[in-house]
Amino acid sequence: MNTVRVGVVGVGHLGVHHARVYSEILGANLVGVVDVDEERAHNVAENLGVPAYSNLERFLDEARPDALSVVVPTVKHFEVARKAMGRGVNLLIEKPVTARTDEAEELLRIASDHNLVLQVGHIERFNSAVQQIREMVSDPIFIQSRRMGPFSSRIADVGVVLDLMIHDVDIILSLVRSEIADMSAMGRCVRTNNEDIASAQIRFANGAVAHILVSRVTEKRMRTLEITEPERYLMVNYETQDVTLHHCVQSPGRGMVEVVEHPVFPKLEPLKLELQDFIRCVREGVEPLVSLRDGKRALEVCVAMLRQIHGEGAALGRSAAM
């Protein structure tokens, strides 16, 4: 397969960028966009010079894509994915992969049966800073992640755990090579009927501990990851894609001296890296960096956290304790 015929289902806030990037990268041929909002589909398609569809089955029949980005509301992921995979289409599904873990398990079975590439859209894995530390981190003993920002009404179908925290869960699981021993989580509703603030702690079997704090009702925007290892400390700024490394060295006549380093590396658009990787995996028939198993594991952890948050009170309401 030289050129991958690709489409996008759902061209809202994020899906429109999927379509834009596919139109720019080598090896991809954008053959159409699909959205239930016909006017939006036509506007996006006209700007990119591709056909617009409001019906998924018609798109699959006429455009005959090899691959597809699924960027619809989470509750629709399973339905759309199953239809497309039934036609032999490889998929990139935005996170969370599905609304329920049993749905993810079913998609895993279908992908295996049809030998399809199924990638989950955990875009932070393609953040240049995260890719840089992936080669540096070897023995994390404590990880702290903070992902906070002001309220936006754009995300209404899920709470902050599946909207934001799942990014951090996925990255932490990829860095700590150990099974989870136990976890605890708390949350509170502030502006919506879903949790808008959440805090979680994960303890791994090898002794590593991770603390995650997420909020979508905090005026100051913050996206950081801090990693403590026995001999050094690393900090990642997701937004600026910067890495800071602190460690101590023996200095003649001065004893131990703290050294602060700022590694220099290319800073590229994470979405472009993610979609390039997806196209490469489809062309070569190999497993993606973020596989369905990865997406399913992150979802399972977040669902377990949500059960604990719901359990803080008889029902998750605006008075739930934080």
129-157 per-position pLDDT tens digit:
999 999 899 999 999 999 999 988 776 66
- For residue 313, the model assigns a pLDDT of 39
| 66 and 116 both lie in a single domain | yes
Domain-embedded: residue 320:
no
**Same domain, yes or no: 203 and 307:** yes
**Distance from C-alpha of 59 to C-alpha of 62, rounded to nearest angstrom:** 5
Say whether both 262 and 132 belong to one domain: yes
Is 316 contained in some domain?
no
Are 171 and 307 contained in the same domain?
yes
> How many Cα atoms sit within 13 Å of 202 on the Cβ side?
29
148 and 237 in a common domain: yes
Residue 321 in any domain: the answer is: no
Classified as helix, coil or strand, 37 is coil
Write down the pLDDT at residue 314: 32
Task: Note whether 176 and 87 are same-domain residues.
Answer: no
DSSP calls for 80-132: HHHHHHTTT-EEEEESSS-SSHHHHHHHHHHHHHHT--EEEE-GGGGSHHHHH
Instruction: Return the amino acid letter for 281.
Output: C
Structure confidence by residue, pLDDT tens digits, 205-230: 999 999 999 999 999 999 999 999 99
221: amino acid identity, one letter: R
Among 43, 48, 42, 60, residue whose Cα is nearest residue 5: 60
92, 201: one domain: no
| 140 is a domain residue | yes
Q: How far is CA 307 from CA 203, 215, 229, 312, in A?
A: 17, 18, 31, 9
Residue 185 sits in a domain whose CATH number is: 3.30.360.10
Looking at residue 317, its pLDDT comes to 34
Number of other residues whose CB lies within 10 A of the CB of residue 123:
19
Residue 318 lies in a domain: no
Beta carbons of 152 and 189 less than 8 angstroms apart: no
Any domain includes 296: no
Q: Are strands 118-121 and 90-94 parallel, antiparallel or unpaired?
A: parallel
Position 312 scores a pLDDT of: 47
What is the C-alpha separation between 317 and 126, in angstroms, rounded? 35
Answer whether residue 192 is part of any domain.
yes
Amino acid 285: pLDDT:
93
Residues 152 and 130 in one domain: yes
Burial class (CB in 10 A: 0-12, 13-18, 19+), 266: exposed
For every one of its 322 residues, what pLDDT tens digit does the chain have, with 9 covering 90 and above?
689 999 999 999 999 999 999 999 999 999 999 999 999 999 999 999 999 999 999 999 999 999 999 999 999 999 999 999 999 999 999 999 999 999 999 999 999 999 999 999 999 999 999 999 998 999 999 999 999 999 887 766 689 999 999 999 999 999 999 999 999 999 999 998 899 999 999 999 999 999 999 999 999 999 999 999 999 999 999 999 999 999 887 677 777 788 999 999 999 999 999 999 999 999 999 999 999 999 999 999 999 999 999 874 333 333 333 3
Q: Looking at residue 161, what DSSP letter applies? A: I
Give a yes or no: residue 215 inside a domain. yes
**pTM of the prediction?**
0.89
Range of the domain at 87: 4-124+271-290
Examine the domain organization and report whether 118 and 184 are in the same domain: no
- In the chain, the number of structural domains is 2
Mark whether 137 and 92 lie in a shared domain.
no
190 and 258 in a common domain: yes
Judgement on whether residues 256 and 275 belong to the same structural domain of the protein: no
Instruction: Look up the CATH number of the domain holding residue 18.
Output: 3.40.50.720
